[in-house]
Structure 1
């Protein structure tokens, strides 16, 4: 029993040390990229239509875009949370985009729309018939079906907190705020045992997001429709669409148009991936992928095949430069 406890303690400390090193590596790599990006883009022209920020057509309607691929186990709880947390439901629409999977996700959405969540403006959207799919195409389909002044991209397993919609309206009405992301947290209810380095990871991710202006999709990125259109919309790539969109915003921010603001309010994402492989293994893979993409010219289709271990069949790679 004593030896087992010692082994478990040693294993936990080793995982903790690994998480410390990997997250330090992440901050160093992201800092170098950020400095280079700002130097390269500080004198470039700001795209038209970024300024002036137009008044909302109404009091600031929000369209929440939820990409759904095999989310049958999460979509019901996601919609219920939104129903409970939206402060002004008459000013919010939720659009769930069917990304395939055929597991009954969209049936659950339709049941929710007709049942207990009938007070929530809830609609569905589908990918165009000629679409090859992928994350970017899914978000594009959601935006095309939306009507709001503000677009919020939300993962189905991300937990929002009460009143988030009012906070988005007040922040995105400011000229200096190009986009927002919520502070990052991991939903402790989604893990069954302590995960070494989890709190350290949360802290470093929020440093990356707030100081280096590099949030990812699990932080619920939001912006006005005007500014999304001004930067060319969501990139039509199978993966890395959140990174590519944020890079567009960072470039015009470096030219003097504003910044991506990380809000103090948190959203909580599922801890399943870190529970399965640990913090350092999961995040080291993410850093290898990011390095391959940014510095070695790997395409989104190649990254997709690598990450999911299946080929992405599509003509062209749709990639834009990462810096």
Structure 2
């Protein structure tokens, strides 16, 4: 079974080298595709030394990940953020579990950082995902090429593309929730304020489910505001 690891980037020079170096032991069974959305900090130059392919696509995670999927040759696609690390046994677990019974899923998550609330936030994310069947990009969504094609790929929206894809894939099957943990950076939570970020993320998700425009939500997310654009 061949895997394609697709990494969307935009000005990730600070993280991309560590991300790609951690993936080097997997290159005998995985291809690594970096899809850049117009970085101005040298991200692409760094990635070209460590990835199998570096391509450019219009800015936006959904567009970038769809572009990577179009170029991928693997049977299973993994969508990885540049500030997230896979567990050591990720591909072995997927060989054993994917399609039994689900053709898609995600990992549990831990957030790096010393603040005690980060562990609580991660636990809440994992519980919420199990209860709702919704996976977030931070949890590293994986999906067979066949199921991804059947779902129509990521919808071309500015935010919540992971939630929208999860809802479509749930019509095929509930997700495979692997307890092995990916490690994602807690930097946004710490920089923006833990409690403010919790409130912001829950507010954005609620408004999305109530029909708010994803482009408006994306502007709020980028500014870190609940209401002010």
TM-score w.r.t. the length of structure 2 is: 0.92
More strand by share: 2
Give the root-mean-square deviation of aligned CA atoms.
Answer: 1.7
CA drift at 1:216: 0.4
Specify the SS of the correspondent of 2:49. helix
Count of residue pairs the alignment pairs up: 224
Where does residue 300 of structure 1 map in the other structure? 214
CA drift at 1:285: 0.3
Out of 175, 182, 185, which is 1:267 matched to? Answer: 182
CA drift at 1:169: 2.1
CA drift at 1:163: 2.2
Out of 56, 75, 82, which is 1:126 matched to? Answer: 56
CA drift at 1:164: 0.9
Moved more, 137-146 or 204-213: 204-213
Where does residue 42 of structure 2 map in the other structure? 104
Q: Following the alignment from structure 2 to structure 1, what is the Cα–Cα distance between the partners of residues 194 and 223?
A: 21
Q: How does 1:44-59 map to 2 (within 5 A)?
A: none
Q: Following the alignment from structure 1 to structure 2, what is the Cα–Cα distance between the partners of residues 104 and 94?
A: 18
CA drift at 1:307: 1.6
Q: Deviations over 1:117-140 (max 9, x none)?
A: xxxxx111221xxx4x31111111
- List alignment gaps of at least 5 residues for structure 2: 225-229
Greater RCO between the two (CA within 8 Å, min separation 6)? 1
CA drift at 1:199: 2.2
Answer yes or no: is the 8 Å Cα contact 2:98–2:176 preserved in 1.
no
Where does residue 142 of structure 1 map in the other structure? 68
The structure with the largest alpha-carbon Rg is 1
Q: Following the alignment from structure 2 to structure 1, what is the Cα–Cα distance between the partners of residues 219 and 117?
A: 28
- List alignment gaps of at least 5 residues for structure 1: 1-59, 114-121, 311-323
Runs in 1 of length 4+ with deviation above 4 angstroms? none
Answer yes or no: is the 8 Å Cα contact 2:204–2:217 preserved in 1.
yes
Q: Following the alignment from structure 1 to structure 2, what is the Cα–Cα distance between the partners of residues 286 and 178?
A: 28
TM-score w.r.t. the length of structure 1 is: 0.66
Where does residue 76 of structure 1 map in the other structure? 17
